[in-house]
A = this chain, B = another copy of it.
Amino acid sequence: MTGAQRPTLEAVARLAGVSRATVSRVVNGSTTVAEPIQEAVRRAVAELGYVPNLAARTLVTQRTDSIALVMPEEATRVFSDDQVFPGIIRGAAQELEAADKQLVLMLAGSPAGHERVERYTSGRHVDGVLFASLHGADPLPGRLARLGIPVVCSGRPLDGADVPYVDVDHIGGVTRAVRHLIEQGRRRIATIAGPQDMVAGIERLAGYRDTVAAAGLPELVVTGDFTRESGGAAMRRLLAVHPDVDAVFAASDLMAHAALRTLRESGRRVPDDVAVIGFDDIETAAYTEPPLTTVRQPIQELGREMTRMLLRMAAGERVDPLLLPTELIIRQSA
């Protein structure tokens, strides 16, 4: 059973005693076909088990009715428990559901994978491409855009390509967070920064720097990569160098979570001795010990807005970058 020669439009037409064109019309729901003929065609379709060949259709319509969401990450990182990717995916899925388009997810963690994704998307296998979380100056979004393929990134592309993007207001969120610490009288405010090859990491650090500098406070910076492990290690380094720190802004909740634990292990009380603020507002933030004060970013909304932007582009509209608001959620850690 190697495929049993799939039935084509031609076969259906013969069986129904009509032309290919008519079958095509029925299949695509045109109303200009006489009822009895529609009926005959439908029977033939059912009897033969006809299914339209998408490649052939795409070739003439120039559409695939599917869009790609590319995650330039390894599977393990995509599926970590910060729910950032899942949030974007859900947002995109919702919006595409309404547009009746298929979402195809692609991982591009390895160099080979990255290259394969490029072939796939630039070969017009999808009507548009969404990029979640770019690393470094990835040239792919820019290249696809130059090919005339609609592209939207989450966050401003670091290679300076003129590609539309949606992002959350990192700077605004961090600024509010650090000010909150300052208003509490904290004076030795450190940050556990995120990876500096990602916009989110860069901007959150910039927001911290500007705000402490404006207040005439010193910069205390250690760096992690958004994961729990890196957060714990960073916090230990911080304590070793600056044992007198009285507040920490961590660029992700995962890192903040680890920091909480490290601080406790070092005998410090949160928030009494050291205040901690995270970023993301992941689900577990409300259940940490103590509950985590954090900057909430509307991650699902991000996925939805990226998708809407992409659909508008695919429809030929011009679009502008969009910044989504963030919000300081005050719990007990600061």
Q: Which residues of A contact B (CB under 8 A)?
A: 1-4, 6, 49, 51-59, 64, 66, 74-76, 78-79, 81, 83, 85-86, 89-90, 93, 97, 100, 102-107, 110, 112-113, 116-117, 119-120, 122-125, 146-148, 316
**A75-B93, A86-B79 are contacts. A148–B55 as well, Cβ < 8 Å?**
no
Q: Which of chain B's residues have a CB closer than 8 A to the CB of A78?
A: 86
Determine whether the beta carbon of B123 is less than 8 Å from that of A51.
yes
Determine whether the beta carbon of B85 is less than 8 Å from that of A113.
no
CA distance A45 to B81 in the complex (A): 44
11 contacts between A and B (CB under 8 A): A3-B148, A6-B148, A53-B124, A54-B124, A54-B125, A55-B64, A79-B79, A89-B107, A97-B113, A100-B112, A105-B106
Determine whether the beta carbon of B105 is less than 8 Å from that of A148.
no
Q: Which of chain B's residues have a CB closer than 8 A to the CB of A57?
A: 123
Residue of B nearest to A88 (CB): B75
CA distance A59 to B53 in the complex (A): 9
**A51-B147, A106-B104, A123-B52 are contacts. A112–B97 as well, Cβ < 8 Å?**
yes
CA distance A66 to B123 in the complex (A): 13
**A75-B90, A79-B86 are contacts. A54–B148 as well, Cβ < 8 Å?**
no
Residue of B nearest to A123 (CB): B54
Cross-chain contact of A49 among B97, B119, B147 (Cβ < 8 A): B147
Determine whether the beta carbon of A102 is less than 8 Å from that of B75.
no
